[in-house]
Amino acid sequence: MAAGKNQSINRMSPRQKMINLMYIVLTAMLALNVSSDVLNGFSQVEDALGRTNRTITARNQMLFAQLQEFNNKNPEKGKMWLDQATEVRGATDKLYNFIDSLKLEIVRVADGPEGDVKNIQNRDNLDAASQVMLPPTGTKGKQLRLLIDQYRNYVVPFLSDPDHQKAIESALSTAPITTRAGGEINKKQWEETMFENMPTIAAVTLLTKLQNDVRFAEGEVLNQMITNVDLGDLRVNLVNAFVIPQSRIVMRGTKYSAQIVMAAVDTTQRPVVYINGQRLGNDRGLYEVGVGSAGKYEYSGWIEVMGRDGSLTRREFKSDYTVIDPLATVSATMMNVFYAGINNPVSIAVPGVPEGSISASMTNGSLTKGSKPGEWIAHPTQVGAECVVTVTAEMDGQRMNVGATSFRVRKLPDPMPFIKYTDAKGNGARYKGGRPFPKATLLAAQGLDAAIDDDMLNIDYRVVSFETVFFDQMGNAIPEVSAGANFSERQKTAMRRLQHGKRFYISRVKATGPDGITRDIAPMEVIVN
């Protein structure tokens, strides 16, 4: 049979042999062909990584500038860390620039001597990366692997956090890749996995991603050095006396309290304090004096402490305090206004007066105590009219009017519609339109919600009805109405028919808030991903 087959092949005409050969070549070309969509995807990723590299580089420059600034202020403590940061920066730039040179070399093999990394012509060239990076024509891949290993082993010891160390080791790993084929275990060097039969644009993108990882490692090290510098530490080189009052503002009828201390005092050796020539009656440095009429009061004195050698150290001090008449503080938690129809949290406090001795009332609505200390709940009624909050306090057995504050009453702003869904981490999220939304997530959603969530107000609304507007292939609008908050079956069916990149609109949304008012709120655009 084999002999007969060989004879049949030998009897083929030259034309038939050429046709068979062309078929084999065409089949191989089809097998190796890379779609233009994939190549475009690599180009987009390359552009995004380039922007990220510029951002990380700018951030690292800011971190390095902080170390320089600290060194300028405190060279004795900052020079060591600045020198190390300079070395890390130099090693990073050296590796980063080497990777840049590899990208240019690969592109010029693919496009010729005038090749430009920013404008690659033969993006699907499968030979350029191998020629530069892999034997027998090139050894740059092995050189790159060794440089990455050297850089990784250099920067990781700078980090004290094991998690950060593992992150850098993982990002800059060049370990061989183990694969299984036909029951056999094969090991490939890192550079073979990265660059063998790799299109030019893909190889350039991988190298840009590697530059990103290198800059990331540099940033982690610089952050660690700033932490080591401990910019917030305090250096004590002077022993002196300090007056620490509980408050410099004292309400009439209460007490003024202050701690008189010496810095770095020995706890086994209590200092002696003299106020206006009189020794303080306790060894805690606590100075208390009754206050009467409003005004400013000054006092002075000195502190004496015995040293280990028996010598007496004395430090003088001077301070003052101010006595004021009782004053209530009333502040609205939300933008200094009240909103009609809802509970408005209000903080009410009178300095120096216990919470149980404070009471308050309000015009144009009701005011009740909340569950938290100092919290009150205002519920105004009429929009446009003022609410006056009046505060009284019991002091020394007498109830006094300590202040009144006026607030304006406004209507609640309109809410925004959104689709409630669960993200990949299992957390609740809100889709508010204007960006691509996964079709599967859209179909899993039950309907439409609405709320005010502008970081000041967080108020849910009940959707009464809404309309969806889809478009057919001719561009004709097809409205579908839902009589409640949930998507109707017809709306769900229309969503299932939508293809990637298509969009529809949710309009004529009516929602009712806690104030009982039903509103027409803004529409939203849904883009199906």
Q: How far apart are CA 457 and CA 453, in angstroms?
A: 6
Residue in this structure with the two tokens 């009046």, named with its chain if needed: 390
14 backbone dihedrals φ, ψ, rounded to 5°? -55, -35
- Digit-by-digit pLDDT tens for the chain (529 residues) are 444 444 444 444 454 455 445 444 433 443 344 556 656 666 777 777 888 889 999 999 999 999 999 889 888 888 989 999 999 999 999 999 999 999 999 999 999 999 999 899 998 898 999 999 999 998 999 999 999 999 999 999 999 889 999 999 999 999 998 877 666 777 889 999 889 888 998 899 889 989 999 999 999 999 998 888 754 443 334 566 777 776 665 656 667 777 786 655 555 567 889 998 889 888 778 888 887 776 778 899 998 877 544 567 788 989 887 776 666 666 655 567 899 888 899 988 887 677 888 999 999 999 999 988 889 999 998 998 999 999 998 876 778 888 888 999 998 889 999 999 999 888 999 999 999 999 999 999 999 999 998 767 889 999 999 999 999 888 899 999 999 999 999 999 999 999 988 999 999 999 999 888 899 999 999 999 8
Question: Are 200 and 120 contacting, i.e. CB atoms less than 8 angstroms apart?
Answer: yes
Task: Check: CB of residue 480 under 8 Å from CB of residue 494.
Answer: yes
At a CB cut-off of 8 Å and minimum separation 6, what does 423 contact? 429
| Structure tokens belonging to residue 167 | 């992150």
Instruction: Give the tens place of pLDDT for each residue, 503-527.
Output: 999 999 999 998 888 999 999 999 9
Architecture of the domain delimited by 329-410: Sandwich (2.60)
Distance, CA of 497 to CA of 295 (rounded, Å) = 78
CB half-sphere exposure, 38, CA atoms < 13 A: 10
pLDDT digits (tens, 9 = 90+) for 77-101: 889 899 999 999 999 999 999 999 9
Cα 212 → chain centroid: 19
Neighbouring C-beta atoms of residue 459, cutoff 10 Å: 18
In 3D space, the residue among 466, 482, 478 whose CA is nearest the CA of residue 502 turns out to be 478
What's the predicted TM-score (pTM) here?
A: 0.42
Tokens of 374: 């100092």
What is the C-alpha separation between 256 and 251, in angstroms, rounded?
9
Sheet holding 344-349, edge to edge: 329-332, 344-349, 375-380, 365-369
The pair phi, psi for residue 151, each rounded to 5°, is -65, -45
CATH superfamily of 241-324: Immunoglobulins (2.60.40.10)
Name the token pair of 193: 């996995």
* Location of structure tokens 């390095």: 64
